[in-house]
């Protein structure tokens, strides 16, 4: 989940929010201001209800952030690099650059999330009791009680043994410890996640159809997210298993067709698509043979036809500083996250500054689809893995 707005860093961890986080704010605020608060404490003004409801929603987001930050800090202490945290519509996502090296580390990273939510819920329960003893406003106490209850609920839900929830990570750590096979453990936890997800989808829609209540749409949405995330997780694990230890040089297209930076766009178009330029992206070379950028057909298309005879490739290309580069001996798994976040989904492969190839996401997909013979040993990786994202559902889910 990509961030829309960066909030800076907390304890050295990059924190951002996706625009969809507004859905949580709106849902919580409306539910409290028009339902929970007036029903429990009538007689207050609308301004008081809405102001406290909005403040409660913001504090709820802060508790989700605390949950994810706990994951990130413990992951970092266990040798896992953290790329950042993003809050979004269904809670939070701590983006881990690699996976835990041992089942014990996996256990610690996964377990700290629910424990943090449980601790936050307990502290807030104590605060509510203290405010009530001091005869504070019952409306304020109600807000604190709601925050306490939702955090405890999140802790319990997150502890369910189903991926991608924290309980699913705990289940995977247990299965990994028992079998010694990380991939098999991931498949087991993902199967549990899909089962829970489909259960939530079916019961949610049953509530809508037979109970005539739209409240079932929310658990159905969360269930669908669990099914999708659990499926993606096992596919990612299978990809890591297949590509572990494979260098870029084995997957790339060697000696790609290039174009000079001084060539005009009109000349370039005259030689494609049935001539020399048959692809949709080309490394751009300077007169000395060095790579200075990447030209895509889409970039050419944005130039008006009448301007193409007088416009050079160098003027419209993506500069080399704006494109992904890789070394031929770099593991494909290290390169993959950079490719996935690249607008052009390509990387230029350089060997000591010299162009030796180009690699795309399609190249990696073809490598994964290629059948492996029974006598072929699949290389194992001892290095970094595909970035791992701990996503959990929010609100009536986990953060």
Same-domain check for residues 165 and 263: no
Q: 377 pLDDT exceeds 80?
A: no
Catalytic one among 3, 68, 99, 142? 68
**Is 100 a member of any domain?**
yes
Same-domain check for residues 189 and 253: no
Q: Which of 165-169, 250-254, 311-315, 385-389 has the lowest mean pLDDT?
A: 385-389
Q: Which residue has the higher pLDDT, 243 or 392?
A: 243
Q: 161 pLDDT exceeds 70?
A: yes
pLDDT of 372 reads 56
Distance CA 314, CA 292 (A): 8
Same-domain check for residues 129 and 152: yes
> In the chain, how many domains are there?
2
Same-domain check for residues 124 and 263: no
Average pLDDT over residues 332-353: 88
Q: 396 pLDDT exceeds 70?
A: no
Q: 292 pLDDT exceeds 90?
A: yes
Average pLDDT over residues 44-59: 96
Of 164, 153, 167, give the one whose Cα is nearest residue 1.
Answer: 164
Domain endpoint, select from 186, 219, 243: 243
Average pLDDT over residues 384-393: 40
pLDDT of 170 reads 96
Same-domain check for residues 97 and 209: yes
Average pLDDT of the residues of the chain? 88
Distance CA 190, CA 197 (A): 10
**Is 205 a member of any domain?**
yes
pLDDT in tens, 213-253: 888 888 999 999 999 999 988 988 888 888 878 999 999 99
Mapped onto helix, strand or coil, the DSSP state of residue 86 is strand
Q: 53 pLDDT exceeds 70?
A: yes
Same-domain check for residues 256 and 278: yes
Same-domain check for residues 228 and 342: no
Q: Grade residue 369 by pLDDT with cuts at 50, 70 and 90.
A: confident
Positive or negative, the CA dihedral 242, 245, 248, 253 is negative
**Is 374 a member of any domain?**
no
**Is 67 a member of any domain?**
yes
Domain endpoint, select from 227, 243, 259: 243
pLDDT of 92 reads 82
Average pLDDT over residues 312-325: 94
Average pLDDT over residues 322-337: 90
Q: Which residue has the higher pLDDT, 242 or 132?
A: 132
**Is 375 a member of any domain?**
no
Q: 140 pLDDT exceeds 80?
A: yes
pLDDT of 342 reads 85
352 has catalytic annotation: no
Domain endpoint, select from 186, 211, 243: 243
| Beta-strand relationship, 346-351 and 324-326 | parallel
Query: In this prediction, what percent of the chain has a pLDDT beyond 90?
Result: 66
**Is 288 a member of any domain?**
yes
Q: Tell me, what CATH number does 365's domain have?
A: 3.10.580.10
Domain containing residue 126: 5-243
Distance CA 387, CA 335 (A): 10
**Is 388 a member of any domain?**
no
> For the whole model, what pTM was predicted?
0.74
Distance CA 161, CA 174 (A): 11
Residue pair 205/220 in contact by the 8 Å Cβ criterion:
yes
Same-domain check for residues 51 and 36: yes
CA max distance for the chain? 83
Helices (H) and strands (E) in the chain, counts: 13, 13
In angstroms, the Cα distances linking 332 to 6, 362, 377 are 29, 13, 17
Residue pair 160/143 in contact by the 8 Å Cβ criterion:
no
Same-domain check for residues 177 and 319: no
Phi (first) and psi of residue 380, to 5 degrees: -100, 150
Give the Cβ contact number of residue 5 at 10 Å.
11
pLDDT of 355 reads 96
Average pLDDT over residues 22-44: 93
Mapped onto helix, strand or coil, the DSSP state of residue 82 is strand
Chain mean position to CA 119: 26
Of 275, 264, 324, give the one whose Cα is nearest residue 300.
Answer: 264
Q: Grade residue 274 by pLDDT with cuts at 50, 70 and 90.
A: low
**Is 117 a member of any domain?**
yes
Same-domain check for residues 252 and 185: no
Same-domain check for residues 205 and 223: yes
Same-domain check for residues 42 and 149: yes
Q: Grade residue 115 by pLDDT with cuts at 50, 70 and 90.
A: very high
Q: 180 pLDDT exceeds 50?
A: yes
pLDDT of 399 reads 33
Q: 18 pLDDT exceeds 50?
A: yes
| Beta-strand relationship, 388-391 and 354-360 | unpaired
């Amino acid at each position: 989940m990509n961030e829309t707005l960066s909030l800076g860093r907390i304890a050295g961890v990059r924190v951002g929010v996706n625009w969809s986080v507004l859905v949580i704010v709106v849902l919580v605020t409306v539910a409290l201001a028009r339902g929970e608060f007036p029903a429990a404490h009538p007689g207050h003004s609308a301004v008081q209800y809405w102001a406290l409801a909005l403040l409660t929603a913001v504090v709820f987001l802060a508790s989700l952030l605390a949950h994810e930050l706990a994951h990130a800090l413990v992951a970092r202490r266990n040798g896992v690099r953290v790329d950042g945290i993003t809050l979004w519509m269904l809670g939070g996502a701590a983006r881990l650059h690699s996976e835990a090296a041992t089942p014990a580390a996996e256990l610690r990273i996964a377990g700290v999330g629910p424990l943090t939510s449980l601790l936050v819920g307990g502290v807030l329960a104590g605060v509510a009791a203290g405010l009530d003893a001091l005869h504070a406003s019952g409306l304020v106490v109600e807000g604190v009680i709601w925050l306490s209850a939702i955090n405890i609920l999140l802790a319990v839900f997150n502890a369910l043994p189903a991926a991608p929830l924290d309980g699913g990570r705990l289940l995977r750590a247990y299965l990994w410890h028992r079998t010694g096979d990380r991939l098999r453990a991931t498949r087991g936890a993902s199967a549990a996640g899909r089962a829970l997800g489909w259960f939530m989808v079916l019961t949610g829609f049953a509530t809508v159809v037979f109970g005539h209540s739209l409240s079932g749409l929310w658990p159905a949405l969360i269930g669908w997210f669990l099914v999708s995330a659990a499926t993606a997780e096992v596919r990612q694990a299978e990809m890591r298993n297949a590509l572990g230890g494979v260098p870029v040089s084995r997957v790339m297209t060697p000696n790609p067709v290039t174009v000079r930076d001084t060539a005009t766009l009109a000349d370039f178009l005259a030689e494609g698509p049935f001539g020399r330029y048959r692809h949709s992206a080309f490394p751009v070379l300077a007169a000395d043979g060095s790579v200075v950028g990447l030209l895509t057909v889409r970039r050419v298309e944005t130039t008006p036809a009448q301007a193409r005879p007088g416009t050079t490739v160098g003027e419209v290309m993506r500069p080399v500083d704006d494109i992904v580069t890789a070394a031929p001996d770099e593991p494909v798994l290290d390169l993959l996250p950079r490719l996935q976040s690249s607008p052009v989904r390509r990387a230029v492969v350089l060997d000591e500054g010299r162009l030796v190839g180009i690699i795309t996401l399609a190249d990696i997909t073809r490598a994964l689809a290629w059948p492996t013979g029974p006598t072929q040993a699949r290389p194992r990786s001892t290095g970094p893995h595909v970035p791992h994202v701990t996503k959990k559902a929010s609100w009536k889910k986990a953060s």
